[in-house]
Structure 1
Amino acid sequence: MTIAPETPTTSHEVAIRFSPDGTPLAIRYDGRIWMVDPEVHTAHWFTREAWWETRQRVAAGTGDVVSVEYWQVQARPSGTHAELRTFTLRREPLATVWQLESISWC
């Protein structure tokens, strides 16, 4: 599935390859590998989930159950000189997979 600029919000699962220091290098999305441009600034931040609204219970000592992790990177399909796209990536607390929250033109 390709996300058109008119509908940039999604929640598709994506695979991300990270560098040893934890920075995204590549994203597998829509059957393609998108290479993150290392020369363009990336943003990394955390927000807090409203755990009181989800009413999910976890055992004591489970870990951080409220921090939602985000990365925003600029990437293009591997092997092309296509225009960069902005990917906003999200990982929910305790999740093992990343979600593509949005993709848009730079």
Structure 2
Amino acid sequence: NPVMGEFIGAMAQIAKEWQAITMEVGKRGAQDPDEIGAAAFDYLWYTGYLAMAYWWARSVAAVHKSEHGDAYKAAKLETARFYFQRILPRAVAHGAAIRSGARTLLSLADEGFDS
């Protein structure tokens, strides 16, 4: 299905990056347990964006085979494109935050919070 190509390619790229990030966090976490906690928030967001991409791709595939009218199919396709082009790229920012590690998150001493 040529329509699916635009979604599968983008999702595959994010999934490949997610796999690499997962391995990186695991390796860093083996050396320093703080790395796991420091990555957790952004890792969950990243994973959520990837999961939603999967469900949007499935939705496009399902509607393409459905008996819905052309207007409904077009609306579903455009909504999926919106997600893939406007929302899914946010995963990249979460990936960068994950890769920044625990140091920048945990380096401020407790006294630094006193004002």
Q: Is the pair's TM-score, using the shorter chain for normalization, greater than 0.5?
A: no
| TM-score (normalised: structure 1) | 0.22
More strand by share: 1
Q: Which structure: larger Rg?
A: 2
Greater helix share, structure number: 2
Q: Please report the TM-score for the alignment, with normalisation by the length of structure 2.
A: 0.21
